[in-house]
């Protein structure tokens, strides 16, 4: 990753950490940008901020524990006040494509449990339409995954098993991921609904209608805040 891209991510992550207030339950996202947010949050915790974090992956949980951020289980929380995460693509309407890090299922559960969602990205993640650069990840159960892939292909997608058959990527939930090409012509809301109807599909990486605050780190050192 280029140094300027890391700087953009860090700028956005530090700006997002300012949204956290004392006593909040905070969703802790996964991936490189979310990691920078967790580190920024840990600095505030060391300075006396009281929070409880809900991690969206085992990797994030390990990092948060190492940095001294108290963690709670989602099922033990009446609500998540704020969820902060990254994204692989963000369109002009604040619609998101996520899941290249493999944690899309837990990320989506926490995002939908949160009162507010903040997405932190560098400017390379801004696209005119979802699928412009990244594939759509679809998490599927191992059993019968080829049949599930065929069902997704029938929807106009082109699924490929992440990691390949010899060494497939396995999610924290023990599932597989099929990375699917979007052709740009699909109705994303309809596609999302049809994906979920396929037997064997656990979740997909279209995060639609969350209306997040999007914090963008720019190459010129600015931090742009968008409210979807």
SS (HEC) of 123-190? HHHECCCCCCCCCEEEEECCCCHHHHHHHHHCCCCCEEECCCCCCCCCCCCCCEEEEECCCCCCCHHH
The answer, yes or no, to whether residue 2 has pLDDT greater than 70, is no
For 142-151, the pLDDT digits (tens) are 999 999 999 9
Q: Where are the domains of the chain?
A: 3-127+208-218, 136-204
Write down the pLDDT at residue 183.
83
Contacts of 36 (CB under 8 A, 6+ apart): 9, 10, 13, 14, 120
**Which of these is catalytic: 14, 35, 89, 107?**
107
Tokens 């905070």: give the residue: 26
For 90-115, the pLDDT digits (tens) are 999 999 999 999 999 999 999 999 99
The mean pLDDT of 162-182, rounded to a whole number, is: 97
What is the chain's mean pLDDT, rounded? 96
Write down the pLDDT at residue 186.
84
The mean pLDDT of 76-90, rounded to a whole number, is: 96
The mean pLDDT of 1-5, rounded to a whole number, is: 74
CATH class of 136-204: alpha beta
CATH of domain 3-127+208-218: 3.40.50.1360
SS3 55: strand
Known active-site residue 107:
yes
The answer, yes or no, to whether residue 184 has pLDDT greater than 90, is no
The answer, yes or no, to whether residue 1 has pLDDT greater than 60, is no
Cα 169 to Cα 104: distance, rounded to the nearest angstrom: 13
- Please choose, from the candidates 112, 140, 141, the residue with its C-alpha nearest in 3D space to the C-alpha of residue 54: 112
The mean pLDDT of 142-162, rounded to a whole number, is: 97
The answer, yes or no, to whether residue 188 has pLDDT greater than 80, is yes
Task: Report pTM.
Answer: 0.95
Q: Which two tokens stand for residue 148?
A: 């599930």
Residue 192: which pLDDT band, with cuts at 50, 70 and 90? very high
Q: Which two tokens stand for residue 32?
A: 């490189």
């Amino acid at each position: 990753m280029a140094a300027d891209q890391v700087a953009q991510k860090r700028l956005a992550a530090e700006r997002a950490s300012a949204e956290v207030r004392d006593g909040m339950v905070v969703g802790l996202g996964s991936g490189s940008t979310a990691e920078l947010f967790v580190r920024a949050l840990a600095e505030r915790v060391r300075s006396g901020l009281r929070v409880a974090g809900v991690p969206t992956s085992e990797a994030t949980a390990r990092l948060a524990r190492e940095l001294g951020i108290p963690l709670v289980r989602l099922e033990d929380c009446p609500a998540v006040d704020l969820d902060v995460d990254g994204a692989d693509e963000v369109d002009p309407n604040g619609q998101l494509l996520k899941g290249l890090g493999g944690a899309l299922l837990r990320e989506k559960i926490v995002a939908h449990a949160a009162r507010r969602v903040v997405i932190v990205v560098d400017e390379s993640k801004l696209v005119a339409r979802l699928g412009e650069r990244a594939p759509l990840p679809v998490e599927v159960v191992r059993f019968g995954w080829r049949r599930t892939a065929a069902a997704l292909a029938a929807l106009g997608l082109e699924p490929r098993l992440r990691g390949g058959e010899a060494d497939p990527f396995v999610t924290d939930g023990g599932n597989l991921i099929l990375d699917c090409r979007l052709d740009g012509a699909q109705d994303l809301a309809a596609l999302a609904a049809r994906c979920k109807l396929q037997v064997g599909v656990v979740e997909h990486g279209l995060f639609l209608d969350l209306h997040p605050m999007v914090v963008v780190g720019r190459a010129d050192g600015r931090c742009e805040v968008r409210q979807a």
